[in-house]
Structure 1
Amino acid sequence: MEFTWDIFTVIGTIAFAISGAIVAMEEDYDVFGIYILGMITAFGGGAIRNLLIGVPVSALWEQGDFFQIALLSITATILFPHNMLKHWPVWGNFFDAIGLSAFAVQGALYAVGMNHPISAVIVAAVLTGSGGGLVRDLLAGRKPALLHNEIYGLWAALAGLLIGLSITTAPVELIILFIAITVLRVLSYKLKWKLPKRELHQ
């Protein structure tokens, strides 16, 4: 499971680092700001998760390899911005979906490994999967995707539920779950699936 966990961490780190860097460039951040927002997007969800499920904050600084992966991903985005931006309307939400599903699975596995109850597993999946994007959108002055009309955090919660109930445990099952959550997120964006809303009228 440790190997599977690392795979999902790498996938999520690359996807969210690129996502954060692109959003920073769209908002006209300078180079330093691009790196900061990219790193916050890549690691923000994990940091929030760690705080809530009892993992020492210092654990974040023990991910040296993942920091390097994020930095390389952001650097590639800065060096080849036109290639990225040209395809961003198509690939932007795909990267976000990949990051969401990869980190949701990783966060759920983390909580299961610490023998937390299923409620904590679901919370860990949602916060790890969407926390980085939430912080990114808030810092960029955008409506957070987690709270947006299209279904977002629910897919992360579904991943946490399936892993917490031990329905998906084998590496192959986890990879299938990752693909399924990615596809569902993309479909919910493309087809504009929405959850019911409750509005207050004056």
Structure 2
Amino acid sequence: MAWDVLNVIGTIAFALSGVIVAMEEDFDLMGVYILGFVTAFGGGAIRNLLIGVPVSALWEQGTLFTIAFIVMTIAFFLPNLWINHWLKFGLLFDAIGLAAFAIQGALFATSMDHPLSAVIVAAALTGAGGGIVRDMLARRKPLVLSKEIYIGWAMLAGAAIGLNIVSGPIGIGFLIILVVFLRMLSVHYNWCLPHRKIEHRTS
């Protein structure tokens, strides 16, 4: 039950982040739905393709699809009801979604006896893949690859699962709390990974 609740929170948070980007870019209603669904479920779809889970498994999440559709519809037609609440709690919900989805992806990969590298990739794609595809569709530089430590926390969760450092409900619960905590800290203190830009000089 607790895991289902986390999945619902993550799905709603990711869907709403897609709605926000779509409305910022002035997309129509269909664009809102596409970006919302891609953000919420795109990472899982890519993960399934890469680690060998049948793509049809995605359609077994009928309840989550329905929840996402209802939330996006309300968000589009009644933005004043939720936008202020999102500004207060959206980051926390997004962090919960990142943790839950990353761990879910890692568990999928380990259940299929994939190596550590595949487990880490599965965690990263499930946690951050939807946001990357969302930004590409919106013609934006993917935020998770340029400004924030986001995908790194997903990879950390994948490594913890893949190396058997964490196992069982208690361990997974602790890992979820840790990833959420680190994600919130990284935003609060503006942590970022090293990056370098090459300047092209013209003579």
Same fold (TM > 0.5): yes
The count of corresponding residues between Structure 1 and Structure 2 is 200
Matched residue SS, 2:139:
coil
C-alpha distance in 1 between matches for 2:86 and 2:2:
28
Deviation at 1:125?
0.2
**Structure 2: tracts of 5 or more residues without a match:** none
Q: What CA deviation, in whole Å up to 9, does each residue of 1:14-38 have, x standing for no partner?
A: 2211111122122221122111111
Residue 39 (structure 1) aligns with: 37
Contact 1:45–1:129 (CA under 8 A) maintained in structure 2: yes
Separation of aligned partners in 1, 2:45 and 2:186: 27
2:152 equivalent among 141, 151, 154 = 154
- Cα displacement (A) at 1:167: 1.7
Could you tell me which of 94, 97, 122 is aligned with 1:96? Answer: 94
What residue is the counterpart of 1:187 in the other structure? 185
Per the TM alignment, residue 144 of structure 1 is displaced from its structure 2 partner at its CA by 0.9
| Residues 96 and 145 of structure 1: CA distance in aligned 2, closer, same or farther (over 3 Å) | farther
Structural mapping, 1:1-202, within 5 Å: 6-202=4-200
Q: Deviations over 1:176-198 (max 9, x none)?
A: 21122122112212211121224
Q: For 2:64 and 2:84, how far apart are their aligned partners in 1?
A: 27
- In 2, Cα distance between equivalents of 1:53 and 1:131: 14
1:60 alignment partner AA:
L
The farther-off stretch of 28-37 and 124-133 is 28-37
- Deviation string 1:93-151 (CA, Å, 9 cap, x unpaired) is 33332222221011111111212111111100000000001111111222212212221
Percent sequence identity over aligned pairs: 60
CA distance in 2, matches of 1:6, 1:164: 22
Tell me how far apart the structure 1 counterparts of residues 164 and 175 of structure 2 sit (CA, whole Å): 12
Stretch moving more, 177-186 or 121-130: 177-186
The 1:134/1:120 distance shift into structure 2, 3 A limit, reads: same
Measured after TM superposition, the shift of residue 89 of structure 1 is: 4.1
| Larger Rg belongs to | 2
State the alpha-carbon separation in 1 of the partners of residues 140 and 65 from structure 2.
25
Unmatched 5+ residue regions in structure 1? none
Structure 1 residues 59 and 180, CA gap change in structure 2 (3 angstroms): same
In structure 2, relative to structure 1, the CA distance for the partners of 1:169 and 1:7 (3 Å cut) is farther
Secondary structure, in 3 states, of the residue corresponding to 1:13?
helix
**Could you say if the C-alpha distance between residues 138 and 94 of structure 1 is closer, same or farther in structure 2, counting changes exceeding 3 Å?**
farther
CA distance in 1, matches of 2:124, 2:146: 15
Asked whether the 8 Å contact 2:9–2:93 carries over to 1, the reply is no
Give the aligned CA root-mean-square deviation in angstroms: 2.0
Q: When the two structures are superposed, what TM-score results if normalisation uses the length of structure 2? A: 0.88
For residues 32 and 103 of structure 2, the distance between their equivalents in structure 1, rounded to whole angstroms, comes to: 27
Contact residue 107 and residue 128 of structure 1 kept, 8 A: yes
Give the CA deviation at 1:201: 4.9
Distance 1:109 1:9 in 2: 14
Kept after mapping to 1: 8 A contact 2:12/2:67: yes
